[in-house]
Amino acid sequence: MILRLQETDYRPSRWTELDRMNRRVNRLLDEITNPKACAYPLVNVRTNEEGAIVTAELPGMRREDIDVSVIGSAVTVKGNKKVEDAGNEAAHYLRRERRSGEFERTLHLPKRIDRDRVDARYEHGVLTVTAPWNEEERSSKIRVN
């Protein structure tokens, strides 16, 4: 008896899809078992010709507890979100999803940032960091003759 594999029996795209799904599940399990592995705070990064705008969700924090630093092309957001019931040891949680404690997140941008012109604002639980590109890194349009 000769066994012949048909073309439909092996599809590399199916294996690639399974591998991708396996990586997602592993990442989710890492976030559950190791809370520090979870990316916090949640951020959006937009870029244009002038620079980048980074927005981070930091609800319930005070300005004094947030630290923003820039080195080269990296923006780092650090902070310490205080636990609201730290003194109440009799409290038992049924569910605890809100994060507390120290955090640090570094975002690497595609170009160097002009540190002297960075602006950070915190309003309504959202941190907005405007990071202009360094003058040397800005692309300028050159007219072709």
pLDDT digits (tens, 9 = 90+) for 64-105: 999 999 999 999 999 998 876 655 666 777 777 777 888 999
Residue 30 sits in the same domain as residue 57:
no
pLDDT at 31: 64
> Which tokens sit at 10?
């092996």
* Same-domain status, 72 and 131: yes
Residues 66 and 117 in one domain: yes
Which residue range(s) make up the domain with 33? 12-40
**Terminal-residue alpha carbon distance, the chain:** 73
At 73 the three-state DSSP class reads coil
Q: Check whether residue 77 and residue 31 sit in a common domain.
A: no
For residues 111 and 68, membership in a common domain is answered with yes
Confidence (pLDDT) at 99: 75
Confidence of residue 29 (pLDDT cuts 50, 70, 90): confident
Domain contains 47? yes
| pLDDT confidence of residue 110 | 92
pTM confidence score: 0.65
- Provide the pLDDT for residue 18: 78
Q: Please, are residues 122 and 66 in contact by the beta-carbon 8 Å criterion?
A: yes
Q: Write down the pLDDT at residue 25.
A: 82
Q: Is residue 78 part of a domain?
A: yes
In whole angstroms, give the CA distance from residue 55 to residue 129.
6
C-alpha count within 13 angstroms, C-beta hemisphere, residue 82: 11
Q: Is residue 116 part of a domain?
A: yes
Residue 107 lies in a domain: yes
* pLDDT confidence tier of residue 142, bands split at 50, 70 and 90: low
The verdict on residue 1 lying in a domain is no
Tokens of 98: 């809100």
Do residues 25 and 80 share a domain? no
Q: 28 by DSSP, 3-state: which? A: helix
Question: How many angstroms separate the CA atoms of 80 and 138, rounded?
Answer: 34
Q: How many domains does the chain have?
A: 2
CB atoms within 10 A of CB 79: 22
Residue 105 and residue 129 share a domain: yes
What Å distances lie between residue 36 and 14, 32, 138, 145, CA to CA? 32, 9, 35, 55
Question: Does the pLDDT of residue 7 top 90, yes or no?
Answer: no
**Three-class HEC string of 119-141:** EEEEECCEEEEEEEECCCCCCCC
One domain, residues 110 and 128: yes
Residues 79 and 113 in one domain: yes
pLDDT digits (tens, 9 = 90+) for 30-58: 666 665 555 788 899 999 999 999 999 99
